[in-house]
């Protein structure tokens, strides 16, 4: 079975603070893919990043960075110097090699960045 | 470039009425197609997915059904809506099962 846990339901920060969104996953597969999506108030889901299970290199894209650690089954997302426009619900998701095309989402973390 | 269209954007339907939500993808062929629902909370629940015309996999037994009459068309239907069917319905596509899903803008359904 595959499962994604985002323990933080809501996070509130002040602009320019750094914030980390946690994601812990469960899978029996050795090959799997991890994703982060952003859902702004308008509702559409925006793809942010994909990681496969064989690539543990951390990634940085502008103010966004991701820390993938297989030893702890975590794929955490950090926003540096947060901005009001970062306010959204963020979803972590998992796709197992053996699960066909099923993408399992966590429950999401509501991030509010206050000015 | 590829685009995904989903309509209508919002819908208010009485209990017991039928439902038809449509999703089409342009600029690609033989995409994998998905229907997700996001209920009052935030979680996204996979309802159906399709890897080809006429091939539908159902994830959750309920009064909804899906069809794929054409390669890039995915339809979500119900013969009789329930109050519990209210939610935000999202269509998505991917060129293959390992690639990121790309989502439509969603349909907000309210069953009254």
In tens, the pLDDT along A104-115 reads 999 999 999 999
Residues A12, B39, B96, B105, CA torsion sign: negative
Interchain contact, B44 vs A105, CB within 8 Å:
yes
A4–chain B Cβ distance below 8 A for any pair: no
Of B1, B48, B34, B59, nearest to A45 by C-alpha is B34
pLDDT value of position B103 = 93
Residue B109 has pLDDT above 90, yes or no: yes
Q: Helix and strand tally (H, E) in chain B?
A: 0, 11
pLDDT value of position B61 = 64
A7–chain B Cβ distance below 8 A for any pair: no
Nearest CA in chain A to B105: A44
Name every residue whose Cβ is closer than 8 Å to that of residue A105 and which is 6 or more positions away in sequence.
Answer: A4, A37, A91, A92, A93, B43, B44
Residues of B in contact with A100 (CB under 8 A): 49, 51, 57, 97
Is the distance from CB of A109 to CB of A46 less than 8 angstroms?
no
Asked if the peptide bond before residue B8 counts as cis, ω within 30 degrees of 0, the response is yes
Is the distance from CB of A25 to CB of A4 less than 8 angstroms?
yes
Among the partner residues A42, A47, A52, nearest to B102 by beta-carbon distance = A47
More confident residue, B54 or A19: A19
% of chain B residues with pLDDT over 90: 77
Average pLDDT, chain A: 93
pLDDT interval class at B62 (50, 70, 90): confident
Pick the range with the lowest mean pLDDT from A55-59, A91-95, B24-28, B102-106: A55-59
pLDDT value of position A58 = 84
Cα–Cα distance for residue pair A98/A102, rounded to 1 Å: 9
In tens, the pLDDT along B10-50 reads 999 999 999 999 999 999 999 999 999 998 767 899 999 99
* Helix, strand, or coil (residue B96): coil
In tens, the pLDDT along A61-99 reads 899 999 999 999 999 999 999 999 999 999 999 998 877
Q: How far is B8 from chain A (nearest CA, A)?
A: 14
Interchain contact, B103 vs A44, CB within 8 Å:
yes
- Residue labelled with tokens 């989903």: B6
Cα–Cα distance for residue pair B110/A63, rounded to 1 Å: 37
Residue A1 has pLDDT above 80, yes or no: no
Q: Edge-to-edge strands of the sheet including B64-70?
A: B3-7, B19-26, B73-78, B64-70
Residue B70 has pLDDT above 70, yes or no: yes
The mean per-residue pLDDT over the stretch B57-69 comes to 88
CA distances from A11 to A42, A109, B108, B110 (A): 19, 7, 25, 28
Residue A20 tokens read as: 């980390």
Chain-centre distance of CA A61, in angstroms? 14
pLDDT value of position B60 = 79
pLDDT value of position B8 = 93
Residues of B in contact with A50 (CB under 8 A): 99-100
In tens, the pLDDT along A16-53 reads 999 999 999 999 999 999 999 999 988 889 999 999 99
Chain A residues 75-104 with a CB less than 8 Å from chain B = 89, 91, 95, 100-104
Interchain contact, A110 vs B92, CB within 8 Å:
no
């Amino acid at each position: 079975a595959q499962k994604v846990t985002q323990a933080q339901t809501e996070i509130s920060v002040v602009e320019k603070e750094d914030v980390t969104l946690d994601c812990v996953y469960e899978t029996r597969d050795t090959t799997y893919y991890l994703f982060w999506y952003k859902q702004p108030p308008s509702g559409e889901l925006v793809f942010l990043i994909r990681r496969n299970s064989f690539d543990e290199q951390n990634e940085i894209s502008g103010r966004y960075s991701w820390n993938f650690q297989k030893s702890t089954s975590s794929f955490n997302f950090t926003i540096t110097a947060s901005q009001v426009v970062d306010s959204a619900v963020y979803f972590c998701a998992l796709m197992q090699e053996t699960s066909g095309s099923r993408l399992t989402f966590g429950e999401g973390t509501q991030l509010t960045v206050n000015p | 470039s590829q685009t995904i269209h989903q309509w209508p954007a919002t819908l208010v339907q009485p209990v017991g009425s039928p439902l038809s939500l449509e999703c089409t993808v342009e600029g690609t062929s033989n995409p994998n197609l998905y229907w997700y629902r996001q209920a009052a909370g935030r979680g996204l629940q996979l309802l159906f997915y399709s890897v080809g015309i006429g091939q539908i996999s159902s994830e959750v037994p309920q009064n909804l059904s899906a069809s794929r009459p054409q390669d890039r068309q995915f339809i979500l239907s119900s013969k009789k809506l329930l109050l519990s069917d209210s939610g935000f319905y999202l269509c998505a596509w991917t060129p293959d099962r390992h690639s990121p899903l790309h989502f439509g803008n969603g349909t907000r359904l309210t069953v009254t």
